[in-house]
Structure 1
């Protein structure tokens, strides 16, 4: 039986050394050959290894061309449907189905593809991202046996994982690795469209506006031709964000209106939350604070998932702070902290730091240096230098206001340094 890849994958998942697994069954060198599928072990040895690893032998599917073809088609269809639909409940259904029907194939390539697609679904759903990191690390050990397509799927998983954990620079690094692999992999049109959208998204976050628009428009063309209106809506929102970042405010507003029109025409009421949020962001940058607040509150009304309000609550705190309305700013800080504690998900830790800083800023003693420094250190660890820059400025100005000029100078220098990093500038002459 060709089961070495199954044994190796499970042993790595359990963090078990070859010496421990082989003890009393075979030699470590023999186990190594089994894991590399260089030899076919006896049924007795397979049974003993499976038993030690807790692998259910009834799930083992012997090499059967038709069953493998059927499973591969089901896997491919599920992958396409999940990626093109981008619907949370649908993704959960498909993931549950795959997890419940997870045969152990003697076909190594099919088994690895299954692991990579299941991981993709779990990352999309943000299911325990600490465990997902462990899965990614385990697959790294197996990756020496990946074909080009599997390596493509693996790099995509890494990129999305780091985007989900707010490590934008790492995410971009892996997406650019993916771009280097594209010529080696025969991607279908829908895969190209999804990749173009994701690259457009991360480049927008990184303020590479011209390049991001190029990728977004490629994705938009495919989604529009195939009548994937939810994805068309996603593209219009992203185009609006690029226009906003370029200070093309009328064009941004027009893109958001197109997105809202799609919501109305195709009964995508749930998606209005993101449209309203972006209208709020646009109003804010144009100085219309009251209008921004109205849109952010409308966004919260349309949110159905628990974590959704955090970003809009954060924006409400900012708007009330700009209006010097400490009472309402504190109210929304309390709402945000309460929701964060309720979610108990450390992937939203950035919001906790945002709310804690603003709450201390509006307190009787004023801004807490301890709380702000903790936030700055946190944003350094996730390489989100925009907020290192922002909160260093806040701390510098607070110290200056309180005549602590030496401390103020230190944090202004810190803000300046990370401002350069954030803007990808090495020298003042390049400003």
Structure 2
């Protein structure tokens, strides 16, 4: 334990100068070296300095050790997603004066960034990471890998999947000892069309979460594996439905509404891909009811619901347009670029303005999807453009799109 940091912290807190603290005890130079940890001093001097500062060194050391333990416990709670424990420890640490002298200030900042990401406060997490980079602080191997993990999660939240992969792949697991990042790598690969890598990392993540009894993340990993299996033509659909229903029951037992909403959304997409738009629309609707309206997850289900209703002709165009405009207004309030593009396209589609739809898709939406690495939306958009150009006998444009698809 660096006693010098304790001495310096309480000297500055009391408003003393080094001269005032050392008067009659030791020289200013010695005080400076003690605070910098550059010298060893006797217990007698430490006792005299502590008495002048009105502190008990042994008590301070015990408190710092307890604070460091609490930081480790906060990380565990964040990984396990123990909501009550997360908030309790957060409030304790916010009241603590000892983080600054514990030598774990950067670790604490990274934990706060992780907390903000858990609560979808991406900008606040990004500000913390920018602050850490700007200070050019020397990080321990664990902190450096933890920073890469948190940065990878931030890129995932911002739909920057290539950047997420780059950050997460640079983690050294032997230094980090937290294989939770396998799950985030699997999600990043899935969204970047790396299905085999996604499956491999999802299996590793599931094994790790079962080993550590992280039941909520087991649900997440099994959901991801179901999504990946749905893309295999030989995998049985009815077998997956049984697993989806089992996951819903698990979510209900864990009293975890957000995960239940996600399972319902994923089931809806399974039915949507099989052109069962009525069932898909109903499941999307159930998922929406369980989500906060002003959230990316709600808008994603809303877009799926509108697409299902439009393709299945389940409701009137007037009602669909009303829902699409509501989604667009929410996306603009949230400054959610992805959903602004998706709902702009949806509005044009409902209005049967095909020419403007294609123009917007080609000039605005598709470039954005490419910039942010949304492989599914890129593929879907390119198919739409190809079919449109073929239908309208713009063969040069159709061939150009086809070449782009083949190159990738």
Q: TM-score surpassing 0.5?
A: yes
1:33 — aligned with what? none
Find the aligned partners of 1:174 and 1:141 in 2 and give their Cα distance.
Answer: 18
Over 3 Å counting, the alpha-carbon distance change for 1:133 and 1:229 in structure 2 is: closer
1:378 — aligned with what? 368
Kept in 2, the 8 Å contact 1:240–1:253? The answer is no
2:147 — aligned with what? 154
Matched, 1:229 2:215: yes
Find the aligned partners of 2:266 and 2:165 in 1 and give their Cα distance.
Answer: 23
Matched, 1:262 2:253: no
Matched, 1:110 2:128: no
Kept in 2, the 8 Å contact 1:209–1:246? The answer is no
Find the aligned partners of 1:270 and 1:126 in 2 and give their Cα distance.
Answer: 13
1:337-352 equivalences in 2 (<5 Å): 337-341=328-332, 344-346=333-335, 348-352=336-340
Over 3 Å counting, the alpha-carbon distance change for 1:205 and 1:93 in structure 2 is: farther
1:74 — aligned with what? 70
Kept in 1, the 8 Å contact 2:293–2:299? The answer is no
Find the aligned partners of 2:113 and 2:97 in 1 and give their Cα distance.
Answer: 13
2:283 — aligned with what? 295
- 1:141-198 deviation digits (Å, cap 9, x = unpaired): 44561111010111011101100000111111111111xx11233x2xxx32x22322
1:197 — aligned with what? 183
* Higher deviation after alignment, 249-258 or 203-212: 203-212
Matched, 1:390 2:393: no
Find the aligned partners of 2:224 and 2:135 in 1 and give their Cα distance.
Answer: 36
Find the aligned partners of 1:277 and 1:86 in 2 and give their Cα distance.
Answer: 24
Find the aligned partners of 1:230 and 1:97 in 2 and give their Cα distance.
Answer: 25
Q: Secondary structure at the match of 1:105?
A: coil
1:124 — aligned with what? 118
1:336 — aligned with what? 327
1:2-17 equivalences in 2 (<5 Å): none
* Higher deviation after alignment, 162-171 or 373-382: 373-382
1:177 — aligned with what? 170
Find the aligned partners of 1:229 and 1:145 in 2 and give their Cα distance.
Answer: 35
Find the aligned partners of 2:390 and 2:201 in 1 and give their Cα distance.
Answer: 44
Q: 5+ unaligned residues in a row in structure 1: which ranges?
A: 7-36, 42-60, 426-431
Find the aligned partners of 2:328 and 2:213 in 1 and give their Cα distance.
Answer: 40
Kept in 1, the 8 Å contact 2:67–2:93? The answer is no
State the Cα RMSD in Å: 3.5
Find the aligned partners of 2:104 and 2:66 in 1 and give their Cα distance.
Answer: 11
Kept in 2, the 8 Å contact 1:283–1:289? The answer is yes
1:45 — aligned with what? none
Find the aligned partners of 1:130 and 1:176 in 2 and give their Cα distance.
Answer: 23
Task: Quote how far apart the aligned CAs of 1:411 are.
Answer: 6.6
Find the aligned partners of 1:210 and 1:38 in 2 and give their Cα distance.
Answer: 56
* Higher deviation after alignment, 287-296 or 363-372: 363-372
Over 3 Å counting, the alpha-carbon distance change for 1:219 and 1:354 in structure 2 is: same
Find the aligned partners of 2:384 and 2:142 in 1 and give their Cα distance.
Answer: 47
Q: Secondary structure at the match of 2:266?
A: helix
| Aligned equivalent of 1:138, options 131, 135, 147 | 131
* Higher deviation after alignment, 238-247 or 68-77: 238-247
Find the aligned partners of 1:392 and 1:39 in 2 and give their Cα distance.
Answer: 66
Find the aligned partners of 1:397 and 1:213 in 2 and give their Cα distance.
Answer: 31
Over 3 Å counting, the alpha-carbon distance change for 1:230 and 1:355 in structure 2 is: same
Kept in 2, the 8 Å contact 1:276–1:299? The answer is yes
Q: 5+ unaligned residues in a row in structure 2: which ranges?
A: 10-31, 37-55
Find the aligned partners of 1:414 and 1:92 in 2 and give their Cα distance.
Answer: 51
Task: Quote how far apart the aligned CAs of 1:199 are.
Answer: 2.6
Find the aligned partners of 2:69 and 2:112 in 1 and give their Cα distance.
Answer: 15
Structure showing greater Rg = 2
| Aligned equivalent of 1:278, options 249, 255, 266 | 266
2:231 — aligned with what? 245
Task: Quote how far apart the aligned CAs of 1:231 are.
Answer: 2.6
Task: Quote how far apart the aligned CAs of 1:215 are.
Answer: 3.3
Over 3 Å counting, the alpha-carbon distance change for 1:242 and 1:395 in structure 2 is: closer
2:308 — aligned with what? 319
Q: What is the total number of aligned residue pairs between the two structures?
A: 357
Task: Quote how far apart the aligned CAs of 1:275 are.
Answer: 1.5
Kept in 2, the 8 Å contact 1:204–1:212? The answer is yes
TM-score (norm 2): 0.75
Q: Secondary structure at the match of 2:303?
A: helix
